[in-house]
Structure 1
Amino acid sequence: GDGLSAITRLEGESDLEGLKKIEFSDYISSALGFHLVRDIENQRKILIIGPGGGLDVLGGIYNGTEEIWGIEMNTNVKILLQGNYADYSGNIYNREGINILTGEGRSVLKGLDQKFDLIQISLIGSSNTASGGFYSISENYLYTVEAFMDFWQHLSDGGKLGITRWLKFPPREIVRLCSISLEALSRMGIKKPENHLAIIRSWGTSTLILSKKEIGEEEIRAIKDFCDERNFDTVYFPGIKEEEANTNHILEQSYYFQEIDQLVNSFKENKLKDFYDSYFFNVSAVTDNQPYFFYTLKWRNIPMIIKSTANWQPLIEWGNLIIFATFVQGIIFSIIFIFLPLILKRLPVSKRKIKIPFLLYFASLGLGYMLLEISFIQKFILYLTNPAYSTSI
């Protein structure tokens, strides 16, 4: 797929730090985090959630990170990179100083008594799947207010959280990430949360940096230099002006800057609700109770979307239509296979009066059981680290 989880061929290479072959890993927007923690004087320990084929691991190696931890959801990926594909990948998962754990990111992180200088979450998922909206009906506990609070607690004093997502237009995911960041920091009592944020974009991705300390002039200069050297664009940092955004990958207007700037100003003026209500998509902060980060569609805007653009399908997000279609399908098949045979065959149920409250009682029992079961399956994923375990219980 295109989830940037491919394994880089480094067969027979041992001195990866000096290898020109992995320099490319420093020319993607997610590499910004490595540059911002270079000057931290402690152990320079980073955590990568969802390392996959090792792209971020290579980025850490290239930037001289001393200790790299990874939490990989798919156990088979770890087995392959430490076994059959170990030589092919340059033994990156077997290197000294690299520790790869398996499980759901937050669940494993809670069991670690560690502080990290950088927590990195990059491009988890396929861009085609994300842009098509197929994730909109799936829960994700990495992108919630409580998740950001957990990450914050595991950052060192000068630590950074770096999250990279596919760039979507009109702006949705990056705006929601900013909303979550502001809400999480507000709940923890951080003053001026907007001063802890920085956002950049490349031609296809956007990266949000959440800093444990307020982002100062030196870090702003590093962000600008990083973007200028790679023809990326700054979207937000404390004190940014519109003319500083949209300078390389030029859009008709500074759309991403404008939306983030409006969100931050609404936050500072305590008018977030007005911003969320007026925004074309649902970009409000999501929590563990409703962990649907990718669900951004406002159903009332569907007629407007179809009317205003010819390429409306990606904006509708097919995951939402799948839910609706499945519901309608269930009703139709229930009528065909349950009620229609009773009507056509005229079973002798008419001789015996069926009490409506009796039917409603048992129907409610079944419905209540299913609703509770689905809710518990969703919640247990966070604690049991694997959807299969949650479903079996």
Structure 2
Amino acid sequence: MARSSARPRVPTIVRTTKCLLGLTNGTSEAGGRLDLTDSAADAAFRDTVRGWLAEHLRGEFAAARGLGGPGREHEAFDVRLAWDRHLAAHGWTCLGWPARFGGRAATAREQLIFHEEYALADAPARVSHFGENLLGPTVIAFGTPDQQRRFLPPIVAVEHLWCQGYSEPGAGSDLAALTTRAVRDGDEWVVTGQKVWTSLAHVADWCFLLARTDPGTLGHRGISCLLVPMRQPGVLVRPIRQLTGTSEFNEVFFDGARTDLANVLGPVGDGWRVAMGTLGLERGVSTVGQQVGFRREWAAIVELARANGRLDDPGVRDRLTDAWIGLEIMRLNAMRALTGGPDAIAPSVLKLCWAGWHRGLGELAMDVAGPAGLTASGEPYELDEFQRLFLFSRADTIYGGSDEIQRTIIAERVLGLPKEPRG
């Protein structure tokens, strides 16, 4: 069932927070201030996006409002796929891609506006994230003209879905310890190994994965980024049941799977550089739309506290206020980073910021729920929105780059601290 479109209103503390930060509307970026006011062109674009969504979120698409997303990818998947293709038919996929690759060449500000309005409309969660936001831009940056002609149009049209094959049972945060290998056999690569925590592998048509193509190397050297079709003999996908009871993550076994020799992204043996480029894209403009969802979760917790009397507790009110201030700081920091030009460290800062905050919000939800949060809503294991928030957000500080890795990046690249010893 779709969630109600009625949402609690957020408090005016946002204005106070912006003033404290010196980030108020109507100011310029001079002196470290960030102008959050839409220009005339941006306002017109916002009206276009808002109007299009209002016109097209009808029928089965309207029934899927609010469905899907992390921990809930199983919800209305076929309808959401149809919705993604509907977006593609009207030119609303791959907004930031150059026009020559089928994109809209939207500015960073326009992309922010689209993701914000998309989230505010409670439109269904997208199913084509890995292709559109990760693999596609990587192909644009590192791919050959032939690869761009072959792989980009099906991403724009949402004809091919992708998954990401990086983590392994013994190579998660230490990705350079991967053991998946690819051996050349004539005009093909033969891939053998195991990947884990592979989101949406069970519905993906293709996987972009890292494999060691030079068996005599260690660490970052000798790794290549391969584009491998998923629907073939030699590929086995097994779901991993999560604490929430859902199974959007998978383990994937490659046992002699094959891909064309030309399906190496970047030079052979230079996959680490390609992978780092992809990971830098993982925390892009969509984070602003993500934060609209966070704001709704926060507002729902406030309503729960009001309904069960916990809002009368000064300590609970203080924690809710702190959470709101943290959310606004996160949003403003994200907008400053995403509109301020290239910054190699900003993705790590943003990931640390939202992951810890969101995990804390899940803990706050359980504290507000009290004893009622300890029992399932129905048989056999039906969870309410606050329980799902608490359980799934435990993974926020791990997936997409663990907190430890993000702190190491900041320590070494910004603070100039010595590198960790590599065993």
TM-score range relative to shorter protein: under 0.3
Query: When the two structures are superposed, what TM-score results if normalisation uses the length of structure 2?
Result: 0.22
Query: When the two structures are superposed, what TM-score results if normalisation uses the length of structure 1?
Result: 0.23
Query: Structure with the greater relative contact order (CA < 8 A, sep ≥ 6): 1 or 2?
Result: 1
